[in-house]
Amino acid sequence: MAARIDHTVHIELGERRYPIFIGSGLLAAAPTYSGLPRAAQALIVSNTTVAPLYADALRSALQAHYQRVHVVALPDGEQYKDWQTLNRIFDALLAHECDRKTVLFALGGGVVGDMTGFAAASYMRGVPFVQVPTTLLAQVDSSVGGKTAINHPLGKNMIGAFYQPQRVICDLDTLGTLPERELSAGIAEVIKYGPIADMALLDWLEQNMDALRGRDPAALAHAIRRSCEIKAAVVGQDEREAGLRAILNFGHTFGHAIEAGLGYGEWLHGEAVGCGMVMAATLSARLGLVDDAFVQRLRRLIDRAGLPVVGPRLDARDNAGRYLELMRVDKKAESGEIRFVVIEKPGQAGVRGAADALVREVIDACCLRQ
């Protein structure tokens, strides 16, 4: 099938400006990779699920540009986003005598993308890398903007670096093999952009949720383009999260507590974010910023996306206390005070602290009773 770029979105970062290509047949087409930094070797980093599906096609396309193209397939799962697995990328680079021009290609979802980016940031103090995201979540969020990291047992994404890719290749065809649960997890991050930045996107999602869940290519292309445009605008203004970029973490403070509290991999990241958005919207309502109708509207949409809207219990005796304890490890926390992304008004987000007692009320209202 001929390659077709439907949309190109640019991340504007001066000399580090780079494009996001969105389209069909891109992954296997050699021209997709023209103009990247020249090197003798390339390393495709993938995992044991995605490599059998797409690594051969990517390798063939890359062979037009690099003399030697290697593949390393990591174990699959959020629980492997750790030091030990990261080291397997360095092992492969060193075993193949890869020099500091070697280009890394992250082929997979956000876990592979975050780990490959971090490896690229640190191998020989930095080598170029390209994101080839194959989940919806990675295409609308994680592959874009240069946040790279691994998890620590005490906190998610705690060890990492800001390091931008050379290019992002979003091939819609790869979403055809994505399990339904993963598709829903990706839709969570698309929904996120509505309440924080673009209520027209929320309207569009209400009208097109069935098409999106049915993987209609035009609906997917629109959702990915609009998500990337919004993320590009935010990252272009605040690459290193001095302020504004924090709004992209709407739902994530509660969500990260769910992920860490249940054990990484139990709930998908997008599922935790979906439920976390209901909690953060509820907090916004209790702070008097939005009305209950807004919270219910968002909750209905998240439910229609096939995502959980009721929080799990993380502790049988003091559930809210456990959430609070986990949320204090959040990167936005300052001197132990948790900072929440809240909706200031529909389509606009901000970051605020909140009294523990109020947060406890929100958690009690949003979680399973027992």
Residues near ligand NAD, by CB under 6 A? 47, 49-50, 53, 76, 78, 81, 108-112, 114, 134-135, 137-138, 141-142, 145, 147, 157, 174, 177-178, 182, 185, 269-270
Task: Please state the φ and ψ torsions of residue 277, each to the nearest 5 degrees.
Answer: -70, -35
Q: Annotated catalytic residue: which of 47, 81, 167, 189?
A: 189
Residue 266 appears among annotated catalytic residues: no
The only residue of 174, 249, 284, 319 in contact with ligand GLY, by rule CB under 6 A = 249
Question: Which listed option, ligand GLY, ligand NAD, none, makes contact with residue 135 (CB within 5 to 8 Å by class)?
Answer: ligand NAD
Residue 252 appears among annotated catalytic residues: yes
Distance of CA 201 to the CA centre of its chain: 18
Question: Which listed option, ligand NAD, ligand GLY, none, makes contact with residue 166 (CB within 5 to 8 Å by class)?
Answer: none
Residue 4 appears among annotated catalytic residues: no
Residue 280 interacting with ligand GLY (CB under 6 A): no
What residues have CB less than 8 Å from 268, skipping those under 6 apart?
78, 181, 182, 185
The only residue of 145, 255, 261, 276 in contact with ligand GLY, by rule CB under 6 A = 145
Residue 81 appears among annotated catalytic residues: no
Task: Please state the φ and ψ torsions of residue 269, each to the nearest 5 degrees.
Answer: -55, -45
Contact by Cβ (8 Å): 324, 356: yes
Give me the residues paired with residue 232 across strands: none
Alpha-carbon distance of 22 to 4, in angstroms, equals 8
- Three-state secondary structure call for residue 307: coil
What residues have CB less than 8 Å from 13, skipping those under 6 apart?
164, 235, 236, 239
32 vs 151 by CB, closer to ligand GLY: 151
Question: Which listed option, ligand NAD, ligand GLY, none, makes contact with residue 245 (CB within 5 to 8 Å by class)?
Answer: ligand GLY
Q: Which residue is nearest to ligand NAD (CB)?
A: 110
Strands (DSSP E) along 167-254, which ranges?
168-171
Q: C-beta of 272: minimal distance to ligand NAD in Å?
A: 9
Alpha-carbon distance of 207 to 107, in angstroms, equals 32
Q: Annotated catalytic residue: which of 167, 192, 256, 297?
A: 256
Residue 330 interacting with ligand GLY (CB under 6 A): no
3 vs 228 by CB, closer to ligand GLY: 228
Distance of CA 108 to the CA centre of its chain: 12
The only residue of 59, 81, 147, 156 in contact with ligand GLY, by rule CB under 6 A = 147
Residue 331 interacting with ligand GLY (CB under 6 A): no
Residue 96 appears among annotated catalytic residues: no
Of the CA atoms within 13 Å of residue 303, those in its CB half-sphere come to: 10
Question: Which listed option, ligand GLY, ligand NAD, none, makes contact with residue 112 (CB within 5 to 8 Å by class)?
Answer: ligand NAD
Q: Annotated catalytic residue: which of 59, 147, 222, 286?
A: 147
- Three-state secondary structure call for residue 184: helix
Residue 332 interacting with ligand GLY (CB under 6 A): no
- Three-state secondary structure call for residue 189: helix
Residue 269 appears among annotated catalytic residues: yes
Question: Which listed option, ligand GLY, ligand NAD, none, makes contact with residue 109 (CB within 5 to 8 Å by class)?
Answer: ligand NAD
Residue 11 interacting with ligand GLY (CB under 6 A): no
Q: Which tokens sit at 206?
A: 């209400």
Q: Which tokens sit at 364?
A: 């009690």
Residue 10 appears among annotated catalytic residues: no
- Restricting to residues 113-142, name those near ligand GLY by CB under 6 A: 141
Alpha-carbon distance of 207 to 230, in angstroms, equals 20
Alpha-carbon distance of 268 to 36, in angstroms, equals 33
Q: Which amino acid is at 194?
A: G
Query: What residues act catalytically?
Result: 125, 147, 189, 231, 241, 245, 249, 252, 256, 269
- In the complex, the residues that contact ligand GLY under the rule CB under 6 A are 141, 145, 147, 245, 248-249
